């Protein structure tokens, strides 16, 4: 049998409705990890859905748990020959709240519904649809070749939507059991809906709360205006020293030393066209950078919330307190341990010592990135071109955040993510959906990648 036969089988699996049936079963399970009442659903997804699927493909399965985790993990492995390449894959079966009653046309988030060349349902993009595509493509390659020609280890977690508590500790404790030669998994969006994409890491997040408590209670602005400091004005000015009027970050420690040449070369081929979102503000962000460089190569800072006085019903009083939450999304080259101390020094130097700082995030995950010119990246890109005839977008890292550091740093693997979604999929909102064209092409891409792994993988 041939590579083309495996790809054809994968596309036929889609055309016959088999993939739709797989995803429909999984979407039908309300695995809301943020809802304590769904705890039984989390384990049942592994026991009655994932375990039988993987065991039918020749995997041996076991449930792993860790005291810090909010949900169980399913580990599965299929070892054909220890001398062969071992691929590690990952997915998560938990989802955000269904938000029933808020979906278009009365759609049920727990029923996969085809409409307008899209599949609607909670988890169809994040992440049930994506790992379903990969498992189905793996099945098609196995049936075509009679073997895979490589080994596979799979980890499915049920707490990603809560920040993956316990994932790092579990992987550190089971490092030898879990480690492979490369991670190939799917999550997140493509650069553009119509363009296959590879990303090799993710930006990371640090949230910082800034607060000024000036005094007890508000005081009449007519009697005290011009005499008492206004925390809202002070905090607004303090923030203006952190991020300039066009979004440029002004704290040097919040930025990487430079944009690497290999990253710049890869992103030169990645033009952003957010057709399903708001128009990009061209003058916003780091000056002299392209839109792709701003999102995938650099840090960005945002004010997520700002509270001063009584926003719902303002009164004529100088407020005693102002509070804001800022978020830094940063890339490789920024030291996460230096972010808050650097901000403290910056504010003190400019006379804003009245601003107190705290970070609500207990665990800070580092940013990760695999060089776009790494042999595994070039191998995967060539496979995708061979399958689709399209040159994939190579993103050094995702603009958002995934627990990629667990796989790249703790388990020490090169990491390749092949997303089967797009930025407009509404993944954490009502109307989450997956375009049919992406799902079908994803089946072909993964079948080609898995076939090529059995032929010749990078050393």
Q: Are residues 338 and 247 in the same domain?
A: yes
Size (the chain), residues = 459
Q: What is the pLDDT of residue 361?
A: 64
| 274 pLDDT tier (thresholds 50, 70, 90) | low
Asked whether residue 270 is assigned to any structural domain, the reply reads no
Q: Are residues 348 and 443 in the same domain?
A: no
Average pLDDT over residues 230-252: 98
Distance set, CA 28 to CA 105, 108, 228 (Å): 18, 10, 58
Q: Are residues 319 and 214 in the same domain?
A: yes
Element (H, E) at 69: none
Q: Number of structural domains, the chain?
A: 2
Q: Are residues 9 and 101 in the same domain?
A: yes
Q: Could you say which of 358, 383, 403 is where a domain stops?
A: 358
User: 70-82, pLDDT tens digit by residue?
Assistant: 889 999 999 999 9
Q: Could you say which of 335, 358, 381 is where a domain stops?
A: 358
Asked whether residue 261 is assigned to any structural domain, the reply reads no
- Buried b / exposed e along 364-399 (16+ C-beta atoms within 10 A): ebbbbbbbbebebbebbbebbeebbeeebbbbbbbb
- In degrees and rounded to multiples of 5, residue 284 shows phi and psi of -95, 145
Asked whether residue 46 is assigned to any structural domain, the reply reads yes
User: 191-218, pLDDT tens digit by residue?
Assistant: 999 999 999 999 999 999 999 999 999 9
- Residues with Cβ within 8 Å of 384's Cβ and at least 6 positions away in sequence, in order, are 196, 198, 390, 392, 418, 445, 448, 449
| 275 pLDDT tier (thresholds 50, 70, 90) | low
Q: Which domain holds residue 213?
A: 204-256+299-358
Element (H, E) at 247: none
Q: Are residues 50 and 171 in the same domain?
A: yes
Element (H, E) at 82: none
Is the per-residue pLDDT at 60 higher than 70? Answer: yes
Q: Are residues 229 and 119 in the same domain?
A: no
Task: Give Rg (Cα) of the chain.
Answer: 24
User: 386-399, pLDDT tens digit by residue?
Assistant: 999 999 999 999 99
Q: Are residues 180 and 112 in the same domain?
A: yes
Collapsed DSSP state (helix, strand, coil) of residue 181:
coil
Contact call for residues 260 and 390 (beta carbons, < 8 A): no
Asked whether residue 266 is assigned to any structural domain, the reply reads no
Contact call for residues 75 and 51 (beta carbons, < 8 A): no
Q: What is the pLDDT of residue 129?
A: 98
Q: Are residues 40 and 146 in the same domain?
A: yes
- In degrees and rounded to multiples of 5, residue 257 shows phi and psi of -60, -35
Only one residue has tokens 């988030």, namely 109
Is the per-residue pLDDT at 125 higher than 80? Answer: yes
- Looking at residue 421, which CATH number applies to its domain? 3.40.630.10
Q: Which residues pair with 394 in a beta bridge?
A: 198
Q: Are residues 186 and 93 in the same domain?
A: yes
Q: Are residues 313 and 418 in the same domain?
A: no
Asked whether residue 234 is assigned to any structural domain, the reply reads yes
Q: What is the pLDDT of residue 363?
A: 64
Asked whether residue 292 is assigned to any structural domain, the reply reads no
Q: How many CB atoms lie within 10 A of CB 13?
A: 22
Q: What is the pLDDT of residue 276?
A: 67
């Amino acid at each position: 049998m041939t590579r083309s036969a495996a790809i054809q089988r994968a596309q036929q699996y889609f055309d016959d409705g088999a993939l739709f049936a797989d995803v429909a079963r999984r979407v039908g399970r309300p695995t809301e990890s943020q809802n304590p009442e769904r705890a039984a659903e989390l384990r049942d997804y592994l026991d009655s859905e994932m375990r039988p699927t993987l065991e039918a493909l020749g995997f041996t399965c076991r449930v792993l748990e860790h005291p810090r985790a909010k949900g169980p993990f399913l580990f599965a492995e299929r070892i054909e020959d220890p001398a062969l390449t071992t691929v590690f894959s990952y997915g998560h079966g938990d989802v955000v709240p269904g938000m029933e009653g808020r979906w278009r046309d009365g759609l049920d988030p727990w029923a996969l519904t085809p409409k307008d060349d899209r599949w609607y349902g909670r988890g169809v993009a994040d992440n049930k649809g994506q790992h379903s595509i990969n498992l189905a493509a793996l099945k098609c390659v196995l049936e075509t070749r009679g073997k895979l020609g490589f080994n596979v280890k799979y980890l499915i977690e049920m707490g990603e939507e809560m920040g993956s508590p316990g994932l790092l500790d579990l992987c550190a404790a089971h490092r030898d059991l879990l480690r492979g030669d490369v991670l190939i998994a799917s999550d997140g969006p493509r650069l553009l809906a119509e363009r296959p994409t590879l990303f090799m890491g993710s930006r990371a997040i640090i949230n910082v709360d800034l607060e000024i408590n000036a005094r007890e209670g508000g005081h009449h602005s007519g009697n005290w205006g011009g005499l008492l400091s206004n925390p809202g004005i002070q905090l607004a000015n303090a923030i203006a020293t952190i991020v300039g009027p066009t979004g440029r970050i002004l704290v040097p420690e919040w930025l990487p030393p430079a944009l690497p040449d290999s990253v710049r070369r890869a992103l030169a081929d990645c033009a952003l066209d957010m057709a399903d979102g708001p128009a990009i503000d061209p003058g916003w962000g780091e000056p002299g950078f392209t839109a792709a460089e701003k999102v995938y190569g650099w840090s960005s800072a945002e004010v997520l919330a700002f509270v001063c006085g009584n926003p719902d019903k303002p009164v004529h009083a100088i407020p005693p307190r102002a509070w804001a939450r800022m978020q830094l999304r940063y890339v490789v080259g920024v030291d996460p341990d230096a972010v808050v101390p650097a901000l403290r020094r910056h504010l003190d130097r400019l006379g804003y010592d009245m601003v107190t700082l705290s970070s609500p995030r207990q665990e800070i995950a580092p940013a990760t990135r695999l060089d776009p010119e790494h042999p595994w990246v070039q191998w995967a890109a060539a496979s995708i071109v061979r399958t689709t005839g399209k040159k994939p977008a190579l993103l050094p890292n995702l603009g958002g955040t995934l627990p990629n550091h667990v796989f790249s740093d703790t388990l020490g693997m090169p990491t390749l993510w092949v997303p089967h979604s797009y930025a407009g999929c509404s993944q954490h909102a009502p109307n989450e959906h997956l375009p049919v064209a992406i799902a079908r092409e994803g089946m072909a891409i993964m079948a080609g990648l898995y076939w090529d792994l059995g032929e010749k993988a990078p050393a």
